[in-house]
Amino acid sequence: MSSQHNIKEVLIIGYNELKKQQTQSAVLDTELLLAAALKKEKEYLLAHPEIKVRTVELNKYQKLIKRRIKGEPVAYLVGKKEFYGLDFFVDKRVLIPRPETEQLVEEIINFSSNKKITIADIGTGSGAIAVSLAKNLPLAKILATDISSKAILVAKNNAKINKVKIKFFMGSLLEPLKNQRIDVIVSNPPYLNQKEMIEAKKFRNSLKFEPALALFGGKTGLEVTQKLLSRIKKMKYQPKLVYLETTALNTNLLKNILKKSLPEKTWQIKKDYSGRNRFVVINWASA
């Protein structure tokens, strides 16, 4: 590529390189990567296709394309990801927020709207859930925990970017909150099993680049979920509701765990917009 290429031409060249690798989202990826190289919004590219791209920007763009070809997620390459209408800074310290999780946030907002309640996000990662809740529930008090000090730094940064107040605690699951009064607990815990983790490392996908700590849920994939449920049972003050994200692959195993460990509670498994079992809502106050 020479510095004589304009934005439109550079987009076409990048698209062709990604398409050769069977990249499903080649058009969008190309636009986002060039926008990052130019330090502009994506809309700028579409409005100014004739503007020449400088050599220094081309070189940066080419490097991003090469990294994308190796499977590195676009969110890490551009340093941000949109979630629930908000912008989040993300890097290799945290899991990339998934659109499916937006539905979980929506469920909690619908329940918690106009209520003065305390919500705890366990294993907050980038802070996507906690920040989105804080932004949409001004009366709620939002707490967030994570075992990773690196993730806490990213989440605090995202709270600052989105101008919300959240109390962050570092520690395993509920450990830092065991004596707190909490009305709603939400968690998107690691839920990939051993087999899924091995598969993830083989293929050219985002899981290969994301932190294993945020993905690996133990041999069956539900060890972390089980540990969280047992910790909730031991809390000094019991919550009203518990929202958990899981995967369709674990649904039957999860049902067995819930029946065995929480026989007195009522719960419901909900589907995501794709029709896959994705969330469990436990009415903890139902006993």
pLDDT tens-digit series, residues 28-49 = 999 999 999 999 999 999 999 9
Write down the pLDDT at residue 1. 46
Give the pTM. Answer: 0.90
279 pairs with which residues across the strands?
245, 270
> Each residue of 204-250: pLDDT tens digit?
567 788 888 887 778 888 889 999 999 999 998 999 999 999 876 67
pLDDT band for 179, please (50, 70, 90 cuts): confident
CA distances from 234 to 128, 145, 209, 210 (A): 27, 17, 35, 31
CATH classification (class only), 7-70: mainly alpha
pLDDT band for 203, please (50, 70, 90 cuts): low
- C-alpha to C-alpha distance for 131 and 144, rounded to whole angstroms: 9
- C-alpha to C-alpha distance for 148 and 223, rounded to whole angstroms: 18
Centroid of chain to Cα 266: 27
The hierarchical CATH code for the domain 92-286 is 3.40.50.150
Total residue length of the chain: 287
- Across 3-12, 107-116, 185-194, the highest mean pLDDT is recorded for 107-116
Spell out the domain ranges in the chain.
Answer: 7-70, 92-286
Choice among 29-33, 83-87, 215-219, 259-263 with the minimum mean pLDDT: 215-219
- C-alpha to C-alpha distance for 148 and 173, rounded to whole angstroms: 11
- C-alpha to C-alpha distance for 63 and 59, rounded to whole angstroms: 6
- C-alpha to C-alpha distance for 80 and 84, rounded to whole angstroms: 13
